Amino acid sequence: CLDSNGEVHKFSSSWRTADCHDCYCDRDGIKCCSSFMTPVGYDEKKCVMIFNKETCTYKVVEKDDSSRECPVHTWVG
């Protein structure tokens, strides 16, 4: 399989991309999905979500004080 970066992957191989997607190569091609959950149920007026590419996770914090996390009621992925 040839990925979008021009890198060749063997059949039955899997890998994680730099943008945190888990990919798998088989004879039908490459299949990828996100390896992270995205927060959607939080106070968007008061809070902001921040993505950490090293851990492939989101954190939701207050806009005025990033040391304070906000509650998240719904995640999608």
Q: What percent of the chain has pLDDT over 90?
A: 96
Report pLDDT for 77: 84
Report pLDDT for 46: 98
Q: What percent of the chain has pLDDT over 70?
A: 100
pTM for the structure as a whole: 0.75
Token pair recorded at residue 25? 């190569």
Residues in the chain, pLDDT under 70: none
The CATH number assigned to the domain holding 18 equals: 2.10.70.10
* Residues 31, 45 within the same domain: no
* Residues 72, 43 within the same domain: yes
The CATH number assigned to the domain holding 72 equals: 2.20.25.590
The total number of structural domains in the chain stands at 2
Q: Which residues contact 45 (CB under 8 A, 6 or more apart)?
A: none
Domain that holds residue 5: 1-35
Long-range contacts of 42-48 (CB under 8 A, 24+ apart): 42/70, 42/71, 42/72, 42/73, 43/70, 46/70
* Residues 19, 44 within the same domain: no
CB 62 within 8 A of CB 68: yes
Report pLDDT for 25: 97
H/E run at residue 59? strand 57-62
* Residues 7, 20 within the same domain: yes
